Amino acid sequence: MSGPLAGYKVLDMSRILAGPWAGQLLADMGAEVIKIEKPVVGDDTRHWGPPYLKDTAGNSTEDAAYYFCANRGKKSVTVDITQTEGQAIIRQLAAQTDVLIENYKVGGLKKYNLDYESLSAINPRLVYCSITGFGQTGPYADRPGYDFLIQGMGGLMSITGEATDNNGNGGPVRTGVAVTDLFSGMYAANAIQGALLERHSSDLGQHIDIALLDVQAAVLANQATNYLIGGEVPGRIGNSHPNIVPYQAFATRDGHLILAVGNDAQFQRFCDVIGEPQLALDSRYVSNRMRVENRETLCRQISECLKTHDTRDWLQRFEDNHIPCGPINSIDQVFDHPQIVARKMQISIIDERAGEVAGVANPINYSRSIIDYAVPPPQLGSSTESILGEYLEYSALEISELRNKSII
């Protein structure tokens, strides 16, 4: 492996999305990531399909497309950690590992002596990252947490979706991807790298406690400070922005477009383009503050104007006049977009079963360091024997005995 984290070794004992997302980010940056999975079953997301990866003959494999989003660059080792011999394997790997990522319930690994206290006694330099729904402390610590639940509990769904009207239409909506899991994985990867940097001076690892609910509260961002400083509880306003107007989706004659008018000069140009220059001089709309206060009347007038022409026509006019705007693309349109193509955001990884498999690139672009996509998401247990034999020096006979006992 190459990249800025080349030489670091990560033991990824996580499943589903938040932990594997963190592990994949570290793998992309060159760390050697060993994914520990349950024998036979593996990561739950291997079975979260359809769709499933198809082999070169067009037959579905056992791995779902979902699994492929968060596990490239890793090696899969199957270990039954409920068995004494399996626990011994994990302890031996942890002894020579820089980082361990896990997302078991609080205390779930302690009964196997695989918790931070137990493993740090073996390897004081170990950076041990726990990702849970609610963290290691607090009254909800023992509860399981899932992205959808956390989006609701953490306030995101209270500000996502159309406002409920008098007929009961509208209501809370979760985001189209598991953003709480993804943000938690990003925070975890950042925290891990920070701990590795700190270790240069202390020569000690530490325990990182990441909670999905904490992360969701943190990424409320301006909506959180709108409440904490402004004192008003934000609500659902559909595609509108709480602090900027006009900054939302509008219907056109044949579809929709997004306007993101961020300052008064842009607003004046916008009014000229839509043929309503007097709007920029109207005392109700001369500043963003006034436009926010008079959002309803302004957006009603804008909506009427935009319905007179097609989306493509408006987008061209706005772009020609440097007014921030954009289409609402479907996912196939995203990967056909010339900017996405130019930025090489779609990649191909070679899988021995399926040949070339399309994937999404890591969006980080270093000027010198390399993001490596040479290793596809691993088949279940594909590196078990090599890791046990080469890293832990188990003999072929010992490995065979472990397999016969269903420990690996």
Tell me whether residue 296 is exposed, middle or buried, using C-beta atoms within 10 angstroms of its C-beta: 0 to 12, 13 to 18, 19 or more: exposed
Structure tokens, 114:
């695989």
Pairing of strands 9-13, 99-102: parallel
**Residue 316 corresponds to which amino acid?**
Q
Give dist(CA 355, CA 361) in Å, integer: 18
- Upper half-sphere CA count for residue 330 (Cβ side, 13 Å): 2
The edge-to-edge listing of strands for the beta sheet with 247-251 is 247-251, 256-260, 325-326
Give dist(CA 261, CA 240) in Å, integer: 12
Helix (H, G, I), strand (E, B) or coil at 5: coil
Pairing of strands 256-260, 247-251: antiparallel
CB 184 within 8 A of CB 129: no
CB 135 within 8 A of CB 213: yes
Dihedral in degrees, nearest 10, Cα atoms 241, 242, 243, 247: 20
Nearest to 129, CA basis, from 188, 73, 185, 213: 188
Of how many residues is the chain composed?
408
Helix (H, G, I), strand (E, B) or coil at 360: strand
CB 33 within 8 A of CB 26: yes
For the question of residue 44 being annotated catalytic, the response is no
Question: 181, 209, 214, 351: which one is catalytic?
Answer: 181
Give dist(CA 227, CA 233) in Å, integer: 5
Tell me whether residue 68 is exposed, middle or buried, using C-beta atoms within 10 angstroms of its C-beta: 0 to 12, 13 to 18, 19 or more: buried
Instruction: Write phi, then psi, for 149 (nearest 5 degrees).
Output: -60, -45
* Residues that are catalytic: 181
